[in-house]
Amino acid sequence: MANLESNIVEVHNKATRTKVRWTHITITLAVIWVVGMIDKIGVAVVATNSHFLQDMNLVGRNEMIGSLTSALLFSYGIGFFLWGWLTNRFGPKRCAIVGLSIWGVSTLMAAVSPNFSVLFISRIVLGFSEAFLWPVSNALTARWFPLDERGRAKSIWINGVSLGSAIAGFVVTALISLFDWRGVFWFLTIVALVICVPLLCLLITDTPARHRRVSTEELLHIERNQRMEESVATSKNALRTLNYWLVVIAFTGNILAVYGLGSWFPSYMAVSMHFSPTATSTYMLITWSVSIAMMFWVGAHTDRTHKKAYWIIVGFLVACVFLGISLNSPAPIADALLVGGAIAFIQAFTTPMLHGLLHDMSPTRQIGRNTGVMTGIANVVAAFGPAMMGTFITIGHGSYRAAFLFLIICFVLSAVCAVVLTLRGK
């Protein structure tokens, strides 16, 4: 009889348990990440436009084009240290609203910029404002999801990175054809302030207990599992452990790939491979779509196995092999697919796993700070990557060989860190 009553209660709970954490939190974060990546990757597409290059006096100046991404990443990294603390202090929702408002101002500056200097400053402001994304996203994931659901939850909003990168080429190319390059930044300003801010205000709360649509059953499900997590979480400060700093080093390699390789990918295909804007956008779509599919699978798989460092090793080493083969590939199509494959494996395998390791070693109350420090250091160091790649390309008279070799070395070092993490039980 007791078993029958227990089964009835279980069926009732499943029937009445809401899924606000999936329908509201992950989807809102994914939308904001999509817009953020169009902001970041979009400038790489804009940089292939002749009117933009002439207006900003950037024709043949690859190091200055690369500096636009480097400036963004540097301020992005600096901003993490502040946003991580602010997220813990004032809550993720307030920080996200403030960050998005500054973000809108930065893209407005870019839209009206009369010269390179103003555009450069706008990228610095954008980087600082967008730095709220990782601490806020990780904080909301930690507050809203049990530990055994976080891999799938992260795979949804991190795939916003991939989806934004996938459609950036088509969106930016279409906007340029309709409104010239300044129209891209006007569009991004409107989306940030008119779509993303209202979504945050209407759908997000700092905790599930404050959300009026969360059922009692969903709340109990989240809180019960989080209490279990806190009971087994290490009492040692993660920042004082070797594992944490190995993750930071590996994440630096990840940022170099996603933003360094990702930001130069459009120019590589358009200038070096002589692909049309439509073909370039198509290869970007293929690259990031493959990444999306792989990430969903990896996220679901690691929720069951918890063997994250193995995936990181595979991601970095496959990227090394693909880039190495591309150096000697005679066929432009094969070359583009290989470079795109390197980006896809880095994004799908290493990004969610590195943040998964961060969640494993960070109690909920520390996740904002630990994310801020990790992403801050990684982005500040990796900020020099796109500019260095631009310098290598200029020195090589348009050849990407030295730039790719630089990335291969970084990926090998990151894979070594993951091997050590594996040996230490991660």
Mind listing the pLDDT tens digit for each residue in 159-214?
888 888 888 888 988 999 999 899 999 999 999 999 999 999 999 999 998 999 98
Nearest C-alpha neighbor of 145 from the set 219, 81, 46, 39: 219
Residue 7 has pLDDT above 50, yes or no: no
Task: Give the per-residue pLDDT at 303.
Answer: 59
Task: Give the per-residue pLDDT at 409.
Answer: 92
Higher-pLDDT residue of 184 and 300 is 184
Residue 25 has pLDDT above 90, yes or no: yes
Higher-pLDDT residue of 425 and 30 is 30
> Sorting pLDDT into bands at 50, 70 and 90, what band is 225?
low
Cα dihedral 298→302→303→305 (10° resolution)? 150
> Sorting pLDDT into bands at 50, 70 and 90, what band is 4?
very low
Residue with tokens 């709360």: 205
Residue 13 has pLDDT above 60, yes or no: no
- Residue type for position 301: H
Mean pLDDT, residues 386-410 taken together: 85
pTM to 2 decimal places:
0.75
Question: Percent of the chain, pLDDT > 90?
Answer: 33
Distance CA 298, CA 349 (A): 7
Question: Percent of the chain, pLDDT > 70?
Answer: 92
Task: Give the per-residue pLDDT at 30.
Answer: 94
> Sorting pLDDT into bands at 50, 70 and 90, what band is 14?
very low
Task: Give the per-residue pLDDT at 1.
Answer: 45
Task: Give the per-residue pLDDT at 121.
Answer: 94
Task: Give the per-residue pLDDT at 293.
Answer: 86
Give the Å distances, CA to CA, from 16 to 2, 192, 288: 21, 35, 36
Task: Give the per-residue pLDDT at 95.
Answer: 95
Nearest C-alpha neighbor of 372 from the set 83, 99, 150, 161: 83
Distance CA 426, CA 421 (A): 5
Domain ranges in the chain are 19-207+236-423
Task: Give the per-residue pLDDT at 16.
Answer: 64
Q: Are 68 and 109 in contact (CB under 8 A)?
A: no
Residue 305 has pLDDT above 70, yes or no: no
Task: Give the per-residue pLDDT at 273.
Answer: 80
Residue 271 has pLDDT above 80, yes or no: no
Task: Give the per-residue pLDDT at 64.
Answer: 82
* CATH of span 19-207+236-423: 1.20.1250.20
Task: Give the per-residue pLDDT at 227.
Answer: 54
Nearest C-alpha neighbor of 64 from the set 49, 53, 50, 76: 53
Most confident range (mean pLDDT) of 68-72, 153-157, 412-416 is 412-416
> Sorting pLDDT into bands at 50, 70 and 90, what band is 26?
very high
DSSP of 171-203: HHHHHHHHH-HHHHHHHHHHIIIIIIHHHHHHH
Tell me the CB-side half-sphere exposure of residue 360, using CA atoms within 13 A: 20
Higher-pLDDT residue of 389 and 128 is 128
Averaged pLDDT score across all residues of the chain: 84
Residue 363 has pLDDT above 60, yes or no: yes
Most confident range (mean pLDDT) of 70-74, 170-174, 226-230, 362-366 is 170-174
Q: Are 285 and 347 in contact (CB under 8 A)?
A: no
Nearest C-alpha neighbor of 299 from the set 141, 111, 69: 141
Higher-pLDDT residue of 81 and 30 is 30
Task: Give the per-residue pLDDT at 287.
Answer: 86
